[in-house]
Amino acid sequence: MSYFLQQLINGLQLGFVYALIALGYTMVYGIVRLINFAHGDVFMVGAYLGFYALSLYHLPFPLSLIFAMAGCAIIGITIERIAYRPLRNAPRISALITAMGVSLFLEYFSSLKFIFGPNYLAYPRPFDVCIYGIGDICISNIQILVFFVSIILLIFLQFIVQKTKTGMAMRAVSYDKDTARLMGIDVDRIISFTFGIGSALAGAGGVLYGIAYPQIHPFMGIMPGLKAFVAAVLGGIGNIPGAMIGALIMGIVETMSSAYISSTMRDAIAFSILIIVLLVKPTGILGKGEIEKV
Amino acid sequence: MPKIRNLHLWLVILAIYVVIAILISLRILNPYWQQIIQFAFIITISALGLNLIYGYTGQFSLGHAAFYGLGAYTSALFTKCFPQLGIFSFVLGFLCAIMVVGLVAFLIGLPILRLKSDYLGIATLGFGIIVKVVFDNADAVIPVMGGSRGMLGIPKFTVFPLTFFLMVGAIIVIRNFVYSNPGRACISIREDDIAAESVGIDTTKYKTLGFVIGCIFAGVAGVLYAHLYSFLHPANFDFLKSIDVLLIVVLGGLGSISGTIIAAIGWTFLLEGLRVILPPQILDWRLVIYPLLLIIVMIIKPKGLGGGMEFKFLRPQNGTHT
């Protein structure tokens, strides 16, 4: 039982990081109906920015986090402006292929020696790891940090989306772009803002991931990115609480399958979930169906 | 008239073959370049398959490398298990691989092809990753397959005439398919599946047909690949490899056989050939330039560079051109 609870905590740690990435996927999909493949790589850039802030400039952890988030927000907005905006009215697959191009570009460009370099880097920890025992269960200060930062960010996001005027505009745009424009909402600005917020969250996720699993390389974003996307689909893509729930489920399922089945099979299990969800209930747990109009 | 034109065509194909064969026998092309030429043809076969699935039938697949890998592993396993059969082990392994790939494509395609556009892409991508995990862990069940250590010592059966004529065969098959009745049904599904359904086309049937044929092409390419390099590793069949093929199809042009051939051969030579010529510092930039090219092409010409264009000999001799 204590082994199970221990794995549950580890799973939640992973799940919260996935949640930070999945939110960017789901918000962007909700607004422009685009699977932003490059999102996982923005996450990677976030991890690297945090790495440089922590190890090169020796910034304290909160400042490093903000630095990574701001950097990622700028990158996200730039990507949207350059690559996706010209394709706003193109077929969805064209935009998707472009997103893949952006993803590959970020990966290979970061691998160049004068950018991040192709090697694995050890991630610095902002403080020493210490482990607290509660009964048989261990929880480290790193895990507490991951929980704490992610929950704060999730609450902050919920506040922006639900309580502010920009958030209301975001919801309006995701509901109906043209009507939103008629109501005087600057749709382009809202889309940029959404990419910025989503990328900032991914950046924060990157820093937390780097601290929790202390090794980074330019291709680290692919798998967490894809799994966070699975989480977004599982929760119902376009739905913010759904993405959080989906991400926590994904994190727990992944940790449990490593713990009880086999760690090499966990990717297969994660993507089997994806295929099953897509076939059985493509709208996910909380998503609403769309009616196809001829 | 048509007969004479076909004769011309066959002579040209034969001439290309003879020229390359002579270059090989005179040792002007060293084994390294021979391998690259064969690899280019293999990639062409695989890309033609994806073009049938995505370019003609409009079903966005990101799991092409999985079928490529399935073909490669099936045939490699068969030939390694029955070495006493000699060349027949290759022939049987080849047929076996085609059947396995076709069956898997059929079984996975039937449910998955109900999905549309990006959802289909994601589902096939998931399938590709699952297949790669299976390859990674295959040694637990069948030790010969080597799992994540890779599969060694596969007998070399792939020779230049085989790859060349299989590629020519693939081009002929795909060209004849596209201009046949089922092929036109596939194209109509790409243009508008609801409209296609409403004029009585069994969309599920033709989607699955296009998908299975396209995947078998990938399987054939995989078989050739396995017996060319005699070493297989799961990393050669991961999802980045699927994207490579997609890149070729998109750059060459959706629904263009000529474009795919040119893009596949050109891509292989740029990727492999430049390895010898350029200094290593610039070499890394290759992989940065391809995605940039992809983005630019998508923004400027979403149907690809050669989208809708076709060499004259690949078009039907009379009637309208799609």
Burial A112-131 (b: 16+ CB within 10 A, else e): beeebeeeebebbbbeeeee
**Nearest chain B Cα distance for residue A196, angstroms:** 21
Q: Hey, is the C-beta of A89 within 8 angstroms of any chain B C-beta?
A: no
CA B140 to chain centre: 29
Check residue B270 and give its pLDDT: 81
Position with higher pLDDT, A91 vs A67:
A67
**Three-class secondary structure of residue A238 per DSSP:** coil
Nearest beta carbon to residue B243 from set A35, A93, A100: A100
Q: What is the mean pLDDT of chain A?
A: 88
Give the whole-angstrom CA distance, residue A20 versus residue A43.
Answer: 9
Query: How many angstroms separate the most distant Cα atoms in chain A?
Result: 60
Which residues lie across from A215 on neighbouring strands?
A122
Which residues lie across from A47 on neighbouring strands?
none
Nearest beta carbon to residue A101 from set B60, B127, B298: B298
Q: What is the DSSP letter of B151?
A: B
**Nearest chain B Cα distance for residue A149, angstroms:** 30
Contact list, A278 vs chain B (CB under 8 Å): 112, 115, 119, 122-123, 126
Contact list, B290 vs chain A (CB under 8 Å): 104
**Three-class secondary structure of residue A216 per DSSP:** strand
* Average pLDDT, integer, range A74-86: 92
pLDDT in tens, B243-287: 889 888 988 888 888 889 998 998 888 877 677 777 777 777 777
pLDDT band at A280 (very low <50, low <70, confident <90, very high): confident
Check residue B1 and give its pLDDT: 42
Give the whole-angstrom CA distance, residue A231 versus residue A21.
Answer: 9
* Average pLDDT, integer, range A278-283: 82
Name the residue among B232, B201, B189 with its Cα closest to residue B97. B232
**Three-class secondary structure of residue A105 per DSSP:** helix
Give the whole-angstrom CA distance, residue B251 versus residue B78.
Answer: 35
Rounded to the nearest 10°, the torsion over CA B288, B290, B291, B297 is 140
Contact list, A92 vs chain B (CB under 8 Å): 117-118
Of chain A, the percentage scoring pLDDT greater than 90 comes to 35
* Residues A228/A15, Cβ–Cβ less than 8 Å: no
Give the relative orientation of helices B239-252 and B257-268 as an angle to the nearest 10 degrees.
130
Interface mutation vs chain A, best among B119, B122, B132, B242, most A CBs within 10 Å: B122
* Residues B224/B91, Cβ–Cβ less than 8 Å: no
The token pair at A149 is 């930062």
**Nearest chain B Cα distance for residue A181, angstroms:** 24
Residues near A160 by beta carbon (within 8 Å), at least 6 away in sequence: A166, A167, A197
Contact list, B53 vs chain A (CB under 8 Å): none
pLDDT band at A277 (very low <50, low <70, confident <90, very high): confident
Could you tell me the pTM of the whole model? 0.88
**Contact between chains at A278 and B119 (C-beta distance less than 8 A):** yes
Give the whole-angstrom CA distance, residue A9 versus residue B136.
Answer: 28
Contacts of B288-292 with C-beta under 8 Å, sequence gap 24+, read B288/A105, B288/A108, B288/A109, B288/A112, B290/A104, B290/B247, B291/A100, B291/A101, B291/A102, B291/A103, B291/A104, B291/A105, B291/A108, B292/A101, B292/A105
Contact list, A108 vs chain B (CB under 8 Å): 284, 287-288, 291
**Contact between chains at B112 and A279 (C-beta distance less than 8 A):** yes
ipTM of this predicted complex? 0.86
Residues of chain B with pLDDT under 50: 1-2, 320-322
Nearest beta carbon to residue B118 from set A93, A103, A275: A93
pLDDT in tens, A49-65: 999 998 888 888 889 99
**Nearest chain B Cα distance for residue A164, angstroms:** 32
The neighbour count for residue A86, using CB atoms within 10 Å, is 15
**Three-class secondary structure of residue B232 per DSSP:** strand
**Contact between chains at A233 and B118 (C-beta distance less than 8 A):** no
Q: How many CB pairs under 8 A join A and B?
A: 117
Residues 102-141 of A with CB under 8 A from B: 102-105, 108-109, 111-113
Of chain B, the percentage scoring pLDDT greater than 90 comes to 28
Nearest beta carbon to residue A91 from set B127, B246, B302: B302
**Contact between chains at B298 and A264 (C-beta distance less than 8 A):** no
Give the whole-angstrom CA distance, residue A79 versus residue A102.
Answer: 8
**Nearest chain B Cα distance for residue A136, angstroms:** 33
The neighbour count for residue B72, using CB atoms within 10 Å, is 30
Q: What is the DSSP letter of B130?
A: H
The neighbour count for residue A165, using CB atoms within 10 Å, is 8
**Contact between chains at A274 and B137 (C-beta distance less than 8 A):** no
Q: Hey, is the C-beta of A100 within 8 angstroms of any chain B C-beta?
A: yes
Contact list, A28 vs chain B (CB under 8 Å): none
* Average pLDDT, integer, range A145-171: 90
Give the whole-angstrom CA distance, residue B296 versus residue A125.
Answer: 40
Check residue A130 and give its pLDDT: 82
**Contact between chains at A264 and B284 (C-beta distance less than 8 A):** no
**Which of A82-96, A247-261, B303-317 is the least confident region?**
B303-317
Element housing A23 (H / E): helix A2-32
Name the residue among A44, A54, A38, A66 with its Cα closest to residue A115. A44
Contact list, B250 vs chain A (CB under 8 Å): 97
CA distances A146 to A15, A23, A25, B41, B202, Å, are: 10, 16, 20, 50, 52
Which residues lie across from A140 on neighbouring strands?
A131
Q: What's the angle, vertex CA B147, arms to CA B63 and CA B86, rounded to 5?
A: 90
pLDDT in tens, A29-52: 888 888 888 999 999 999 999 999
- Indicate the burial class of A8 (C-beta count within 10 angstroms; 0-12, 13-18, 19 or more): middle
The neighbour count for residue A37, using CB atoms within 10 Å, is 28
Interface mutation vs chain B, best among A33, A254, A278, most B CBs within 10 Å: A278
Give the whole-angstrom CA distance, residue B134 versus residue B131.
Answer: 5
**Nearest chain A Cα distance for residue B126, angstroms:** 5
pLDDT band at A294 (very low <50, low <70, confident <90, very high): low
**Contact between chains at B284 and A113 (C-beta distance less than 8 A):** yes
* Average pLDDT, integer, range A176-193: 90
- Chain B residue nearest residue A88, CA to CA: B299
Contacts of B92-100 with C-beta under 8 Å, sequence gap 24+, read B93/B223, B94/B220, B94/B223, B97/B70, B97/B71, B97/B72, B97/B219, B97/B220, B97/B222, B97/B223, B98/B71, B98/B216, B98/B219, B98/B220, B98/B223, B100/B70, B100/B71, B100/B74, B100/B219
Q: Hey, is the C-beta of A279 within 8 angstroms of any chain B C-beta?
A: yes
Q: What is the mean pLDDT of chain B?
A: 85
Number of helices and strands (H, E) in chain A?
11, 4
Q: Where are the domains of chain B?
A: 2-25+32-276+286-314
Give the whole-angstrom CA distance, residue B293 versus residue B290.
Answer: 5
Burial B115-128 (b: 16+ CB within 10 A, else e): bebbbbbbbbbbbb
Check residue A249 and give its pLDDT: 92
Which residues lie across from A121 on neighbouring strands?
A216
**Contact between chains at A100 and B294 (C-beta distance less than 8 A):** yes
